[in-house]
Structure 1
Amino acid sequence: MPSYKYDLLVIGSGPAGEGAAITSAKAGMKVGVIESYSMVGGNCTHKGTIPSKSLRHVVKQIIRFNSNPLFHRAGKALWPSYPEVLKQAEQVIPRQVDMRSEFYVHNRIHLHIGVASFEDANTIIVKTGEGAVEKISADKIIIATGSRPYNPQNVDFSHERVYDSDSILSMQHTPQTLIIYGAGVIGCEYASIFSGLGVKVDLINNRDRLLSFLDDEISDALSYHLRVGGVTVRHDEVYKSVEATDEGVTMVMESGKRIHADALLWCNGRTGNTDSLALESIGLNADHRGQLSVNEHYETDVENIFAIGDVVGWPSLASASYDQGRSVARYICGENSRFITEAPTGIYTLPEISSIGKTENELTAAKVPYEVGRAFFKDTARAQISGESVGMLKILFHADSLQILGIHCFGAEASEIIHIGQAVMSQEGEANSLKYFVRTTFNYPTMAEAYRVAALDGLNRVNRF
């Protein structure tokens, strides 16, 4: 049995594991990484963020083509099949794998392909796909194994018409109708994608509104545009059973409704990938969703073992996972680190959503005197030129000090636009003020100019110029 010894061993090569491994290697540590896929990148690259956002991009191009009479003057819209769209979207994955593989080579990080399990707190056993076994020891170990879709036992996911957010990326037909159960971020994103392909979607939400963590105005806008796109949103519904046959899928609801479709996409929750790690051998216990508890340094209850990324739960974002990886590596190397508590929300629906800071409901509950400045994209030159007229930038600010308290964006490039406001909010004193946006010259025409328009709107509300 081959054996290896490292200063640091990282289990998982997704965003969290990659951030930790590279940061530690650059600090001079001898680092090894274990990955269960045959290639690096983790679920983010192969099943999650990269393929789903690439799929969204292709669908957005189709929508723009079909909405522009210049490109189909004969009146023939473009309706490619789902497998054709998927094939186009998949082209980015090998480029991501090649790039990330180079990171490990350049930083002299040894990669082990196989399934990891603990023998003790300093020793990992890796079983490779060829049946070989490796023993790896390390002073410090980071669990960054990510997550997978939660699959309830009373739903037959082996059926050819029943999918989750991983298996939907291998579907080889185009349904005319689709049930999406779960109206969280992933469910809403796929509802946008499939409705953009002309599929009639029933989006089942077990709550009373979509994405209730968002500002109400943004959540309402999302609901409106999903419905305009042909999505039927059903709130306060919980499934009772799922019946799948060769002809289609029927979801029976606790309310008594029976919803029929060609296929079912399950998007209700995720589970941490900890069940194969043999955590009991080191005295660690994951919760019912496979997640681990950590302290402010991402340490588990075992002193030399850390956990980061989706396996620790919130915020379960690729962006935050990268930062968690870098932060825990800095802590292990004896440098200053931080616990990631503030990250912008990026939701890649059509149109997309991004936000940071407080919502109106939160500020009202806290009795903070705030005001609102808005800029509607339809009124900005760049949006009119590019045809991206749907959307709004909304700035919440203190009515007296003009301090920025929250920024919420709905529409084209929202996840890019938000970072301008994020940078201003991170400043101290007067630098974090609504007046920054009116004292700064923005390129014209740009989407970023919406900040100036929203700031002027807000200042008019409080009679400040």
Structure 2
Amino acid sequence: MERYDLVVIGSGPAGRRAGVQAAKLGKQVLVVEGRRRVGGVSVHTGTIPSKTLRETVLNLSGWRERGFYGHSYRVKAEIVGDDLGHRLGKTLEHEVNVLEHQFHRNKIRTVSGMARFTGPHEIAIGRADGSDLLVTAERILICVGTVPHRPDTIPFDDLAVVDSDRIVEVPRVPRSLCVIGAGVIGIEYATIFSAMDVPVTLVEPRETFLDFIDREVIDEFVHDLRDRGMIIRTGVAVAKVEKGADGWVTTTLADGRTIRTEMLLYAAGRTGATDALELAKCGLTADHRGRITVDPKTLQTAVPHIYAAGDVIGFPSLASTSMEQGRIAACHAFGLPLPPAPQYFPYGIYAVPEISTVGMNEQEVRARGISYEVGIARFRETSRGHIMGLNTGMMKMLFSLKTRRLLGVHILGEGATELIHIGQAVLNLKGTLDFFIENTFNYPTLAEAYKIAALDAWNRMPK
């Protein structure tokens, strides 16, 4: 039986960061990956593929230039599945090569196979040739990620009825699309296909969606989606989904309405990929969604030498936070002191247009009874926005009336996930409105929106 200081089950963002951190501390590390190559869900079916697909669509469709050249402008007249798959393949190959090199450089051993516990410290790894590799570890980190929720009532065929994994494994451009589930994944794919002028219907059983985002930003986002022809059905459940003899899919809603599309994407939830781990043999259990409970500060499970990180522990399920969780778990496992975590971290939703947010939204500020003022900037008000042909996009900033401190930043539009980091830095450094008013921003840039929004708030604040 091989012995390691740390065995990491899963090679996604959390597993990669934890493995490298432990190796930097001089520990013997083994990373186990269920797929043939490393990278986890993030590289193979999640973060990287979906963002690559988005960038491909925006480039080939000419989306970013339509503000100047009109809605009929195209870089490529007809976009097909091969166009999407070509760039996707190149990007994924690069990501895997970089990760393999990183593991090799840090002397981290990787094994392809399905891991399962045989005891609190013992793991059996089922390899492709049918043999088991038996290992024991002083510390273990579980970061197996999630898999799409696939209810029995949905007739998945991985062609006309697909989940969020399958839609990037074999990309194609349908003549019409129904998306069930208006979470982050559903919203991203619905808007990506809409940018290719595919007629899209988005179905969400709740009355609202993306409830952690500022409502004013969501209202603006929904207006933009409807303005370009997307149909949004909220507050109504799906009664049944049927695939016809012609291959088209009919979705019947609880209110009797039907939606007939060439493809259906079911994106209503994901489940922790813990079924194969045989957690009972190490003293752990998962909840009904396959998630593992941990101490949020240390990432320890109920079994102190076993840690869990990434999507398998639930919210916020972001690649960025998963990386940090992996690092924290490795540091705690081997006694390295940790600085206090920053109070605020950004969320990025790679829809078309992008949404990014950090800090409190207006609903939270009101709920806490904080006296505040709001500043708004429209991207079309900036010179850079006009140069880029932007007709939409906004930045919303919230400031305390008592202390003038920044409370939150919420951005909708081109470059939102990049722009948010300025607000993140000021927020975590407890900066005030005066930072934005007194400092100079490059001209012309979209970042000027920070000064415009700050001045907008300042104009209404007591002098």
- The whole-number CA distance in structure 1 between the counterparts of 2:74 and 2:118 is 65
Match in the other structure for 1:111: 110
Match in the other structure for 1:253: 253
Offset at 1:390? 1.6
Structure 2 residue matching 1:225: 3-state secondary structure: helix
Offset at 1:138? 0.5
Match in the other structure for 2:437: 438
Q: 1:253 to 1:74 in 2, by over 3 A?
A: closer
Offset at 1:340? 7.9
Structure 2 residue matching 1:276: 3-state secondary structure: helix
Structure 1 residue matching 2:365: 3-state secondary structure: helix
Match in the other structure for 2:379: 377
2:114/2:126 contact within 8 Å kept:
yes
- The whole-number CA distance in structure 1 between the counterparts of 2:74 and 2:24 is 57
- The whole-number CA distance in structure 2 between the counterparts of 1:72 and 1:386 is 15
Match in the other structure for 2:25: 27
Moved more, 119-128 or 66-75: 66-75
- The whole-number CA distance in structure 2 between the counterparts of 1:327 and 1:32 is 18
Q: How does 1:154-169 map to 2 (within 5 A)?
A: 154-158=153-157, 160-169=159-168
- The whole-number CA distance in structure 1 between the counterparts of 2:309 and 2:29 is 16
- The whole-number CA distance in structure 2 between the counterparts of 1:144 and 1:424 is 32
2:62/2:73 contact within 8 Å kept:
no
Match in the other structure for 2:311: 310
Match in the other structure for 1:208: 207
Deviations 1:253-275 (A, max 9, x none): 22222221111100000000100
Q: 1:445 to 1:76 in 2, by over 3 A?
A: closer
Offset at 1:66? 6.7
Offset at 1:352? 0.2
Q: 1:20 to 1:76 in 2, by over 3 A?
A: closer
Match in the other structure for 1:330: 331
Q: 1:69 to 1:366 in 2, by over 3 A?
A: closer
Offset at 1:156? 2.0
1:11/1:33 contact within 8 Å kept:
yes
Counterpart of 1:8 (choices 6, 9, 14) is 6
Counterpart of 2:364 (choices 348, 362, 384) is 362
Q: How does 1:238-277 map to 2 (within 5 A)?
A: 238-247=237-246, 248-277=248-277
Q: 1:208 to 1:65 in 2, by over 3 A?
A: closer
Amino acid at match of 1:24: A
- The whole-number CA distance in structure 2 between the counterparts of 1:76 and 1:51 is 21
Moved more, 222-231 or 64-73: 64-73
1:147/1:271 contact within 8 Å kept:
yes
1:83/1:174 contact within 8 Å kept:
no
Moved more, 22-31 or 204-213: 204-213
Deviations 1:143-183 (A, max 9, x none): 00000111111212235311000001134543211110001
Q: 1:180 to 1:383 in 2, by over 3 A?
A: same
Q: 1:228 to 1:171 in 2, by over 3 A?
A: farther
Match in the other structure for 1:298: 299
- The whole-number CA distance in structure 2 between the counterparts of 1:79 and 1:196 is 13
Which structure 1 residue ranges, 4+ long, deviate > 4 Å from structure 2?
68-77, 338-341
Structure 2 residue matching 1:298: 3-state secondary structure: coil
1:20/1:328 contact within 8 Å kept:
yes
Matched, 1:78 2:109: no
- The whole-number CA distance in structure 1 between the counterparts of 2:265 and 2:343 is 31
Matched, 1:417 2:419: yes
Q: TM-score, normalised by structure 1?
A: 0.95
Offset at 1:341? 6.7
1:210/1:223 contact within 8 Å kept:
no
Q: 1:255 to 1:30 in 2, by over 3 A?
A: same
Q: How many residues align?
A: 459
Deviations 1:337-364 (A, max 9, x none): 3568742110011110000111111111
Structure 2 residue matching 1:260: 3-state secondary structure: strand
Q: CA RMSD in A?
A: 2.0
2:342/2:428 contact within 8 Å kept:
no
1:65/1:78 contact within 8 Å kept:
no
1:320/1:340 contact within 8 Å kept:
no
- The whole-number CA distance in structure 2 between the counterparts of 1:280 and 1:312 is 17
Q: TM-score, normalised by structure 2?
A: 0.95
Structure 1 residue matching 2:98: 3-state secondary structure: helix
- The whole-number CA distance in structure 2 between the counterparts of 1:126 and 1:73 is 54
Structure 1 residue matching 2:6: 3-state secondary structure: strand
- The whole-number CA distance in structure 2 between the counterparts of 1:172 and 1:25 is 37
Gaps of 5+ in 2: none
Moved more, 386-395 or 268-277: 386-395
Offset at 1:219? 0.6
Q: 1:68 to 1:357 in 2, by over 3 A?
A: closer
Structure 2 residue matching 1:91: 3-state secondary structure: helix
Deviations 1:201-242 (A, max 9, x none): 110011112312210111111111111222100011111221
- The whole-number CA distance in structure 2 between the counterparts of 1:198 and 1:269 is 26
Matched, 1:229 2:236: no
Offset at 1:389? 3.6
- The whole-number CA distance in structure 1 between the counterparts of 2:289 and 2:72 is 52
- The whole-number CA distance in structure 1 between the counterparts of 2:320 and 2:58 is 23
Offset at 1:453? 1.1
1:165/1:266 contact within 8 Å kept:
yes
Q: How does 1:73-222 map to 2 (within 5 A)?
A: 78-158=77-157, 160-171=159-170, 173-222=172-221
1:66/1:78 contact within 8 Å kept:
no
